[in-house]
Amino acid sequence: MLRPTRRQALGAVIGVAASGALVGVAAASTDTVAAEARSSGTAPGGTGAPGSFDEVFKGRRIQGTPAEASANANADSHAHAGHAGHGAGYRVLIDGRELPVMRHGKSGWSSTINHYERFATPLEAARTAVISLKGAVVVPFDPTA
């Protein structure tokens, strides 16, 4: 019967330890995002959904509302209809122009401007988008183009 070499045994031990560490880091970061979302910008009632916001950040007006509230307020508007099938869940405006945001389960939020970054709240995603835009306007998203 063949026995593993020291190098093979050491590699297996290091692999198991590294995968355990990665699982721990992933769980800790998910808990941190969830805790940050609960502590800032969540709707009252403990639903975990972010509440509405309206602020000026770096000279740009940022507004955000849950999609249900904005859909009821703008039932006849076609601007929101482009995202109706995607389950957006939240509507963000920068200077009156829509910035599409998406929720990624418990891992946070992203926007079309910073798609590969995750943020604890839609407000943080909008603020980072304002910084990334550097004064440019948000261009409407047209899924049919």
pLDDT at residue 39, as a whole number: 45
* Inter-residue contact 18 to 25 (CB < 8 Å): no
Residues of the chain with pLDDT > 90: what percent?
19
Residue in this structure with the two tokens 């200077």, named with its chain if needed = 95
**pLDDT higher than threshold 70 for residue 79:** no
- Mean pLDDT on 70-88: 47
Q: Which of 64, 80, 76, 83 lies closest to 123 in space, CA to CA? A: 64
Count of other CB atoms within 10 angstroms of residue 48: 11
- Mean pLDDT on 121-143: 85
* Inter-residue contact 77 to 65 (CB < 8 Å): no
CA-based radius of gyration for the chain: 21
Name, in order, each residue with C-beta under 8 angstroms of 99's C-beta and a sequence gap of 6 or more.
92, 93, 111, 112, 113, 125, 126, 129, 138
Which helix (H) or strand (E) segment holds residue 94: the answer is strand 90-94
> pLDDT tens, 7-28?
888 888 887 777 777 766 666 5
* Inter-residue contact 123 to 135 (CB < 8 Å): no
DSSP state of 3: -
